[in-house]
Amino acid sequence: MIILVCLAGTVHILAQGTKPAGKSADTSQVQTLFHKGSDTCKLPRSYFIELNGGYSHFGHKSVFLPGISMGLILNHHWTVGMTGNFVGQPMAIYNHHAHGDSTGTNRHESSLSGGYGGLLLEYTLFPRSKVHVSFPLTIGGGYLVRSHHAYSSDSIYMQKGIYHEYAHGMHFFVVEPGVKLELNVIKNLRIGLGVSYRYSPQRSHLVSSPDLLDQFTARLSIRLGKF
């Protein structure tokens, strides 16, 4: 897929370079919200780094997903890079349950932490316009850890408390296509608002239901680079 993207960018670059005699070179410029650049677009390859924050669900729990992406932009339209996201809650995704009766108290707690990422492929329509649309695709994997904590105590002899802790980890494959609306704020800064769908075929004892991983994500991004 990377080779095909590179070939497509090369063909587009060569097509731009073969202008008929008598016609001036392409002087199209990247339009921004606050500044209309005076330099012509002469960069067939450029780079970027992006910070983003997402809102999603893992099962029925709301999750903040901070992330980072970086890579190359080929001829303004094609993007090839790497991306990563991780569960942003300080205490991970937390659940607890307590039960007490005449014999004592039992408390069970669990947390889910981890993240995912991989190869980022993206195509942008009308990248020189102030407002444009892009179609990102993430293909990669991730790792989740579910930790369990159990505590039981005798209501009469509290010193007989028993504490148990164990954890399970799981690797999973993930594909996440999406669509994003971007705004050229200044020459080297873009902000974007998008939505994507995270899908994983992984099913195991850790993933008790499909909706734990298969969820929509809304994401706000800030991208710096040479566009």
Q: Where are the beta strands (DSSP E) in the chain?
A: 45-58, 61-74, 78-86, 93-101, 104-125, 131-154, 162-186, 189-198, 215-225
**pLDDT tens, residue by residue, 96-119:** 554 555 555 566 677 778 899 999
What per-residue confidence (pLDDT) applies to 124?
94
What is the DSSP secondary-structure string of 1-32? -HHHHHHHHHHHHHHHH-PPTTSPPP----B-
In a domain, 180, yes or no: yes
In a domain, 145, yes or no: yes
What per-residue confidence (pLDDT) applies to 58?
83
Entry field: residues in the chain: 227
**pLDDT tens, residue by residue, 22-73:** 544 454 566 666 655 555 555 567 899 999 999 998 877 888 999 999 999 9
In a domain, 119, yes or no: yes
CATH of the domain at 127: 2.40.160.20
In a domain, 131, yes or no: yes
What per-residue confidence (pLDDT) applies to 25?
45
What per-residue confidence (pLDDT) applies to 90?
57
Model confidence band, residue 128 (pLDDT cutoffs 50, 70, 90): confident
**pLDDT tens, residue by residue, 141-190:** 998 887 776 666 655 444 445 555 556 778 889 999 999 999 999 989 99
Residues 6+ apart with CB under 8 A from 139: 118, 119, 121, 174, 175
In a domain, 112, yes or no: yes
**pLDDT tens, residue by residue, 143-156:** 888 777 666 665 54
Residues 6+ apart with CB under 8 A from 147: 92, 110, 111, 112, 113, 165, 166, 167
* Overall average pLDDT of the 3-14 stretch: 49
Q: What is the pTM of this model?
A: 0.69
Q: Domain of residue 59: give its range.
A: 45-97+105-225
What per-residue confidence (pLDDT) applies to 168?
72
In a domain, 12, yes or no: no
Q: Number of folded domains in the chain? A: 1
